[in-house]
Amino acid sequence: MAGVTNPPFRRLCREFGGDQGVYVAEMVTSRALVERNPRAIRIVSFDADEHPRSAQVYGVDPATVGQAVALITGEDRADHVDLNFGCPVPKVTRKGGGGALPWKTTLFAAVVNAAVRNAPSQVPVTVKIRVGIDEEHETFRDAAQIAVAEGAAAITLHARTVAQRYSGTADWAKIAQLKDMDLGVPIFGNGDVFSAEDALAMMTRTGCDGVAIGRGCLGRPWLFADLAAAFSGSDVRVKPDLATVSQIIVRHSQLLADYYGDESRAAKDMRKHIAWYLRGFAIGGETRRQLMLVTHLTELAEQLALLPNQPFPIAGEGPRGRMGGAKRPHLPDNWLATREVDDKMAIELMGSELAGFGSEVTGG
């Protein structure tokens, strides 16, 4: 997730969940990597003790995606590359990227093929997709088959369409359908997993091989400890009280300050995280507003220390992060007219990537 799954947050998650999962870096554009944009290069830089190192890439031009994967693997920057074809953000889909791209089957195949060809055999390339652009334009079956044929090592399905974005309920039945296709690679489910119980329920109902966590970990890095316990058969769960959550917030902010080398930037970046961490706790609006205005970590720690302790709230469970309603997807002109890409559209897509992707670095 852009702006969230940076090294400080991944470290925090690993401190809870250990080596029980793969913690994926922020999504980065292939063009920005090829141009060696400093921010992009930093996104595919990992802590020395972080293994496996998992990079997440997206783009619309096969050659550029291939070059980006060659850069990542040639410089030994990651042990795994995930191609994101699930992003529903308009600034990505209007250029044919993210969840829009699998509609163009030949182009989709070429992008996956370029990534796989440029990754050494010991670096698996996996693919994340959505159900489709909307209910009338489903792509997940074709996309999964194509990706596997081109060498993808695993498929993750976010069980919503691009039009749904993050609204409504994920259709886990689609994950079960994909698993039933018996493609010969692991199938991971994604969507509406906010607790260990959700993860267990998804695996039981769909038969998927594993669960991918997105919004569920926002303000809940301890979720990975819960997942590790659940998958090992334990019913022990982490439910930190407010005092413990406050300590985690301070730890998170300190890691960010070390990462940025700038306390004020860390404090600003923490604002969204604080809102997620404190969701459901009985804290007045004015207190929340004051926490959002802090500029130094000492001030943050002092204000958190003044909060009266309370147990983890039931209201703290459930969705966090992006919500909103379904929206008509933003797509290139005439995108849905055909599943092929003609020469004119190919030139337009290349122009969009050159003009925008490199400067934007990330998707959402």
DSSP reduced 3-state for 134: coil
Token pair for residue 55?
């990079």
Report d(CA 262, CA 345) in Å as an integer.
Answer: 44
**CA-wise closest residue to 43 among 33, 58, 35:** 33
Query: φ and ψ at 320, to 5 degrees?
Result: -140, 165
DSSP symbol at 45: -
Choosing from 13, 87, 208, 217, the catalytic residue is: 87
**Please, which residues bridge with residue 85 across strands?**
129
Give Cβ neighbours of residue 27 (< 8 Å, ≥ 6 apart). 1, 2, 56, 57, 58, 84, 87, 362, 363, 364
Q: How many CB atoms lie within 10 A of CB 142?
A: 17
Q: How many CB atoms lie within 10 A of CB 176?
A: 17
Task: Report which secondary-structure segment, H or E, holds 126.
Answer: strand 125-132
> 3-state SS of 163-219?
CCCCCCCCCHHHHHHHHHCCCCCCEEEECCCCCHHHHHHHHHHHCCCEEECCHHHCC
Cα dihedral value 259, 265, 271, 276, nearest 10: -10
87 tagged catalytic: yes
C-alpha dist (Å) from residue 359 to 2, 4, 32, 93: 14, 19, 7, 16
Return the residue matching tokens 């669960």: 211
C-alpha dist (Å) from residue 342 to 63, 67, 143, 298, 346: 17, 23, 19, 58, 6
At 301, which amino acid appears?
A: A
Angle, to 10 degrees, between the axis of helix 285-292 and the axis of helix 263-277? Answer: 150
Catalytic residue numbers read 87
